[in-house]
Each structure stands twice: as C-alpha cells, then as structure tokens.
Amino acid sequence: MTFFPYVVAGWLFVIGLWGVVSSTDLVRTVLSLTVVQSSTYVVLLAIGYRSAGKAPIVADIPAASKLVDPVVQVLVLTDIVIEATVTALLLALVVQAHKRFGSVDPARLRALRH
Amino acid sequence: MSRRGRLSLFAVAGTGLLAVLLIGFHGLPRFGDYHGIYGLLVNRVEPAQRRATDIVTALNFDLRAFDTLGEEFILFASVAGVAVILRHLRDEDQDLQRSQGIEDHRFAGASEALRAGSLVLIPLLVALGAYVVFHGALTPGGGFQGGIVLAAGPLAILAAGRYLALKRLAPEWALEALEATGGACYALIGLGGLIFAGVYLRNFLPLGDSGQLLSAGMMPLNSIAVGLEVTGAFLLTWTEFLDQALVVRRGELRR
C-alpha cells in the first residue's frame, strides 16, 4: 500500500474539482475549492514521510531519532494560511454577489453572462 | 454557458488532467521512502544550532523566517481585501442603535446552559491559545496555530448570543491595531537581526537551554508577534462577515 496516500490526494483533488464545476451555489463552490486545496496537504505530508519516522518534535525523544521531513510540514502550514485567506476573500465576494444579484447561483449572475 | 456545456467542457479538460495527474503521481517517491537531503539536514541542524525542539517552528522562524514575513503580509493584505470588499455601501446603514433586532440572531435564544458553557470556554480557549503561542519553539504549535485558538476565545461570546458584547470587547480599531502591531513587531525583530547580527531576521538573542520556555533565541518573540497578528486578523475577518449578517441593513428597510 505504498501508493494509498496518493490515491486519497488524487481523489480529494478530483472530487473537489467536480464540486467546483457542478456547483449551483457559490458558497459550495468556495468550499469545494478548499477540498481541492486539502489534497495538497495530503500529497505534501505523504512525500515527506519516512517509514517508522517520528514527528519532527524532539522535545521528548533524542534528536538523533529517525524523523520525517519537516520542510513539507512547514509548506503545509503556509498552504493552510493561504487557503484561509483565499476562502475569506472569495466568501466576501459571494456576499457582495448576493447583494447585487439576489442569488448565489452562478447561472443567475446576469452581469457575468455577457 | 449552460450547465451541459460546462460539464462537457470539464469532461474534455478532466481527461487531460487525469493523464497529467497519473504521470505526476508516477514520479513521486514511494510512500515512506523519502530521501530528500534538505529535511534530514534541517533535523540535525536546528535542534543543535538553535536549541529549538519543535523543528517545524524552527524552520518557520529561522530558515524560512523571510517567507514567514511574506506570509504575514499576505494575511494582512487579505484582511484589508475582505474589509474593502465588504465595505458599507452608500444605501446601507450600520448604526448599531437603530439596527433593530441585532441581538435577534440565531444564537440569541441561547439556553442558559449554552451561555454558561460559552463563558467557561473563553478563559480556557485564551489559556490554551497563549500556551500554544508561547511554547511554539518547544512543542507542536506556534504563532499561527495559537493565534487561531486565541481568536476563538472572544468568538465564544457570539455563541452565547451576545454579538454586541463581542463588538464592545473587541472593537474594530482595537483589532486593526492588534493586527498591525503583530506584523510590525515581526518586521522589527528582523531589523534587530540586521543591526545586531548583520543579516535581516538572523537570530541575535541568547539561545538559552534546550527545552526551556525562554530558549531558541528570537523564536518565542516571533511566535508572539505572529500570534498577535493572526488573532487580530481572524477576529477582524469574522467581525466583517458577522456585521454583514447581523448589523448592516439596506437603507430602504430602515425607513
């Protein structure tokens, strides 16, 4: 099962993308985008894993222990910050779209259809 | 574009994407079989040279400290963006006195048990958040993680059905000041590195003993600065959204 985490990541990516494409509600579109983004967390963490490696916290284990890669974990932290900011901005746009058009269905956003 | 057109376009693009995905996954290292030298090196260097026991935080505030500065600014810019997008339009009114039914939101009918529970949660959340921020260089956590927990503390007031009390406790000017202070402190700590160690964001404080609260040089300070900014940034974002739902009314409804 050395490929299983990548299958999970691929599944999250595809199902999130399907959510973005098939959505009839902009809030659901934004949430689907966060599902797409969460697949990147799985990929990053899976890449950095070493068999039987421990978390890179040496507070209570010897520093010479076999540890997993900390670089990808820091990238995941950055990823989460970016996801939070992007989600906030998109949801703010959805709020204004709802005020302007009275709907959050992308098919009903009249100004976008021209 | 019609829904059918959109989906058939996705079917074409999706096939290409699937091929690229499969090729990409094929090139990844087998799970558990990673041999990147950089991560191994960091695992050796950071505990030895910086006396930090949480290597992830050590990377964040030492080797990638400049990236973290950029991350701070991204957060700052995005909160400003949310505030601009959700600005009050000309026909909207947000006078708290005149907004009838502001306490009349979904949680306003909160039971006594929910209210008491939320009030009990506030000190616990603040204490946990402060713990996570202060111990960033020692155990899992750091400024970003702790800042979110800290921001959740005041949010418990909302769960108790008291949004106006939340706005009184954490007015927008105070949150803006908190966020700006956090960002500025991080940049100033970097300046300290430039002055005392010759390189921007390089450590210039004594390292202390590994595992102590005040150790790992400037990392605890960085952690606190980031924690302040994240707390302010997220409370500000949430306030902007909650204002939209609870306070802002269309002008014509008011008259």
B38 vs A contacts (CB less than 8 Å): 69, 71
What's the pLDDT score for residue B58?
86
- How far off is chain A from B149, nearest CA to CA, in Å? 14
Query: In this predicted structure, which of A96-100, B97-101, B140-144, B180-184 has the lowest mean pLDDT?
Result: B97-101
Q: How does DSSP classify residue B63? A: I
All residues of chain B having their beta carbon less than 8 Å from the beta carbon of residue A70 are 39, 42-43, 46, 55-56, 59
Q: Give the pLDDT score at A114.
A: 47
Distance between CA atoms of residues B158 and B106, nearest Å:
10
Query: How is chain B split into domains, by residue range?
Result: 36-254
More confident residue, B33 or B9: B9
Cα separation of B245 and A13, whole Å? 31
- The pLDDT tens digits of the residues spanning B39-64 come to 888 888 887 777 888 888 888 888 88
Q: State how far the alpha carbon of B129 is from the alpha carbons of A9, A109, B132, B133, B231, in Å.
A: 30, 41, 5, 6, 10
The ipTM assigned to this model is: 0.84
Q: Do B44 and A4 touch (CB under 8 A)?
A: no
Q: Indicate the average pLDDT of chain B.
A: 82
Q: pLDDT (tens digit, 9 = 90+) per residue, B201-255?
A: 888 777 777 777 777 788 888 899 999 999 999 999 988 888 887 776 654 443 3
Higher-pLDDT residue of B109 and A3 is A3
Tell me the fold of A4-113. Helix Hairpins (1.10.287)
